[in-house]
Amino acid sequence: MFEFHFSKVASFKNDLLSGFTVALALVPEAVAFAFVAGVDPLVGLYAAFMVGLIAASIGGRPGMISGATGALAVVMVSLVANHGVEYLFITVVLMGLLQITAGVLKLGKFIRMVPYPVMLGFVNGLAIVIFLAQLGQFGEAGQAGWLHGTFMQDSIVDVAWLQGEQLYMLFGLVLLTMIIIHFLPRLSKALPSSLVAIMVVTGLVLGLDLNTKVVGDIASISGGLPVFHVPDVPFNLETLFIILPYSVILAAIGLIESLLTLRLIDEITESRGRGNRECIGQGVANTVTGLFGGMGGCAMLGQSMINVNSGGRGRLSGISAAVFLLLFILVGSALIEQIPLAALIGVMFIVVIGTFEWSSFRIIGKVPISDALILVTVSAVTIATDLAFAVVVGVVISALVFAWEHAKFIRIDAREDHNNSTVYAVTGPLFFGSATSFLEGFNPNDDNDDVIIDFARSRVADHSAIEAIDTLAERYLNAGKKLHLVHLSEECRRLLTKAGNLVEVNVIEDPKYFVAEDSLA
C-alpha cells in the first residue's frame, strides 16, 4: 500500500533523533489545535506531552505518536464555548474512562471490520486535511480571506494570502525543506533528513536575517510543569448529561483514528500492534491528561509517519518526543520559537505526499464501482466532517453493498425424489437481505403432499432468516402438507417456534455452526 522502505532494526540513536524531529513538528500542531478548540496554547502542548508520553509507554503500538489532534479539537470547540474549559477537562477524563472500558471489553478487534476501500479513503482524506491545515500559515491572521463573501467564507481554504516578498520567501523555504528531505537520504542516512532540513533552514533564516514567520509568531510556548488539577465543575447528574455526549463522540473518534493509524503503521513496519492494549493506553493517557489541564488527544498519522520515516521504531521514539516537547516548554522555548514555520510546513508537505495513496487514481477505474464510490465518499466526508463519521459512513455503505450483492446468491432448486416427495435444495446465505427471495422460491399449494427442504448448502445467518423459515413452515402447515426441514443447525432448530416437530434431525450430516442471534447469548 505504501512505498516506504525502512530498516527493521530499531536503534537507540534513531529513536532519539526521530523523537526530537517529531517534537519540533508537534509544537505548531498542538498550538494550532488548541486555537481550534478555543483554549490556551499550553493546554494543547500539555496534552501533546502527556498523551504522547503515556500512550508511547503503555500503548499497543511502539513507534506510533499520539497528541492533540484536529479531529478532536473540532468537537471540543462548542463545549468550551458553551460551558468553559473546566468542562472540557472533566469531559476528557470521562472520554479516557470510556476508552479504557473499550480496551477491557476487547472492542479493539472490531477495527478489522473496516474494509480496505474505507482505509484508502481514510488515508487520502486525512492527507488532504493535513495539507489544508498548513494553508493557514500562508496567510495574514485577522484578515478577510480570498473567498470572503462566498459560500466558502471562513472555510479552511479561505486564506488571506501573504503578498510579495513574504509569500515568495515562504514558498522558497518550504521548497528547500522538501528538497533536503527528499534527496538527503541518497547521500547519507546518519541523521533524519527532516531534522537536517529543519536545522539548515533555521540556520539560513537566522544567519541571513530573512523576513519570514517563525513559531514564536503563533504563540509563546513557555510554561512550567503540568499541575494536578481536579476539574472545577459540579459533580452531579446535570454535569454528566452535559459531558456524556461529548465524551462518547471524543472517545469514538480517538479510538477510530488511533486504531486505523495503528493498522497503517503495522503495514509500513511489517509488524503487528495490539489494538486492545492501545485502547487502554489511549484511555489512561486521556484520563491523566484531563486531570493535569490538557485537552486530550489520540494517535497522529502525520507525526507517526514522520517518526517511522526518520527511523523511529521503539517506544523510546514516542517517549523521547514527549520529553523533548516538555523541555521545549520548560527551557527551550526561546530557541524553538525561532524555528521558521516554513521548515515545519515543508516537513508536513512531505508527510502529505508520503501518506496520500497515489495508486488510488490508477486503481479507481479497475475496482468495482461500489469500492470506488466508498473510497471517494470516505475521503470527502473526512474532509467535510470528521474521521469517525467518515469511517462509519464507509462501513455502512460497504455493509449495504455486501448485503445487496450476497442477497442475489440465494438459489432454490426443486425436484421430485423416488418417494414422490418435492425436494427443495437451498444454496447460498440466508439472511435479512435474501429472506424475501427465499420465500418467493416456494409454492406450497402446488407442491406434493410430502415436502423436503434441504439446508445443507445454505448458511442461516440471522434472526430474519429464522423468521423466514418459520413463516415458510407455517404456510405448509396451513396448506395441509407434510414438511421436513433437514440439515439445519441445532441452534436454528431450537429457535423455530412454528415448525414444531416437523424438523428432522440428521445427526451424521447436520452442520455444526452457530446462528448470530441475540437470544442465544
Cite the residue boundaries of each domain of the chain with CATH code 3.30.750.24.
410-520
Gap between the Cα atoms of 261 and 240, Å rounded = 30
pLDDT of residue 142: 65
pLDDT of residue 2: 39
Please say whether the beta carbons of 510 and 456 come within 8 A: no
Please name every residue paired with 378 in a beta bridge, in sequence order, or none if there are none. none
pLDDT in tens, the chain (521 residues): 434 434 444 488 889 999 998 998 888 778 877 877 878 889 989 999 999 999 999 999 999 999 988 778 878 888 998 999 999 999 999 999 999 999 999 888 777 777 888 888 888 887 888 788 788 788 776 676 677 667 666 666 777 787 888 889 999 999 999 999 889 888 887 777 888 888 999 999 999 988 888 888 877 788 889 999 999 999 999 999 999 999 998 998 899 889 988 988 888 888 888 989 999 999 999 999 999 999 999 998 888 988 988 888 889 999 999 999 999 999 988 888 888 889 888 888 887 888 788 888 888 888 888 888 999 998 888 888 777 788 888 888 998 888 888 888 889 999 888 888 899 999 988 888 888 889 989 988 888 888 888 888 888 878 788 888 888 888 888 888 888 888 877 767 666 655 555 444 443 345 554 444 444 33
DSSP string, 97-145: HHHHHHHHTTGGGGGGGS-HHHHHHHHHHHHHHHHHHHHGGGB-TTSPP
Please say whether the beta carbons of 20 and 321 come within 8 A: yes
Please say whether the beta carbons of 121 and 396 come within 8 A: no
Longest dimension (CA), the chain: 99
Per-residue DSSP letter, 408: G
Phi, psi (deg, nearest 5) at residue 446: -95, -10
Gap between the Cα atoms of 80 and 60, Å rounded = 31
Query: Residue type for 237, please?
Result: L
Please name which of 383, 374, 379 lies closest in space to residue 116, comparing C-alpha atoms: 374
Domain 410-520 part of CATH 3.30.1540.20 = no
Please name which of 135, 137, 136, 157 lies closest in space to residue 146, comparing C-alpha atoms: 157
Instruction: Give the three-class secondary structure for 51.
Output: helix
Please say whether the beta carbons of 250 and 92 come within 8 A: yes
Please name which of 351, 330, 327, 326 lies closest in space to residue 192, comparing C-alpha atoms: 351
Per-residue DSSP letter, 340: B
Gap between the Cα atoms of 49 and 322, Å rounded = 5
pLDDT of residue 349: 87
